[in-house]
Structure 1
Amino acid sequence: MNASPPKPPSARPPLDGLRRQLAKSREARGRLPRDGYVRETFILPSLAARQKAREWFDNFPRAAYWTEIESWCERPDDVIEFTMRRLPTAD
């Protein structure tokens, strides 16, 4: 039998890339998405969903904030899931 010499313990890979990636993602939290819109998703019964959308349009007029219902879908039991988006400030 040929016994091979024991291998030295392998060195840990450098973690600099991972550190940078984590730091970058932590900085990005709380920032606006790259397109600059503020988004909020709601899951409400249809009547409450309609009222919430109206509230957004009243508080953030479409002409100034470009407010819109970005997406929506009907769920069982007359529940609506929808995402509202608007600009953070009016110009």
Structure 2
Amino acid sequence: MSAPRSAPRDLARRFATKRETRGGGGWRRESFTLERGEARAKAREWFERFPKAAYMTEIEFWRELDDGRIEFTIRRLPSAD
């Protein structure tokens, strides 16, 4: 008797879970929604704490919301942690 086949979404979920728990080589991301000045300060803090040369830190995504706040995601490699 053969094992039941997995649906594509089940396989995707399993691989995603494995990738998250494995750690190591994956990107670390953190998202923020802050006032413009606070967003600037938070980005500066990240680039000082995790320099681009060592961690490949970058603003992956950003946008200005209707209320003027900035929503953004910063990503970095955990290479030098």
TM-score by length of 2: 0.71
Which segments of 5 or more consecutive residues in structure 2 lack a partner in the other structure? none
Larger helix fraction of residues: 2
Q: 1:25 to 1:53 in 2, by over 3 A?
A: closer
Equivalent of residue 55 in structure 1, options 38, 45, 49: 45
Corresponding residue number in structure 2 for 1:74: 64
Corresponding residue number in structure 1 for 2:18: 27
Q: 1:39 to 1:25 in 2, by over 3 A?
A: closer
Consecutive aligned runs of 4 or more in structure 1 exceeding 4 Å deviation: 22-25
- The reply on whether 1:41 has 2:31 as its aligned counterpart is yes
Instruction: Give aligned-pair identity as a percent.
Output: 47
**Alignment length (residue pairs):** 74
CA offsets 1:3-26 (integer angstroms, 9 cap, x no match): xxxxxxxxxxx74525x7365454
Equivalent of residue 6 in structure 2, options 7, 17, 34: 17
Which segments of 5 or more consecutive residues in structure 1 lack a partner in the other structure? 1-13
Q: How far apart, in 2, do the equivalents of 1:36 and 1:29 lie? A: 8
Whose Rg is larger? 1
TM-score by length of 1: 0.64
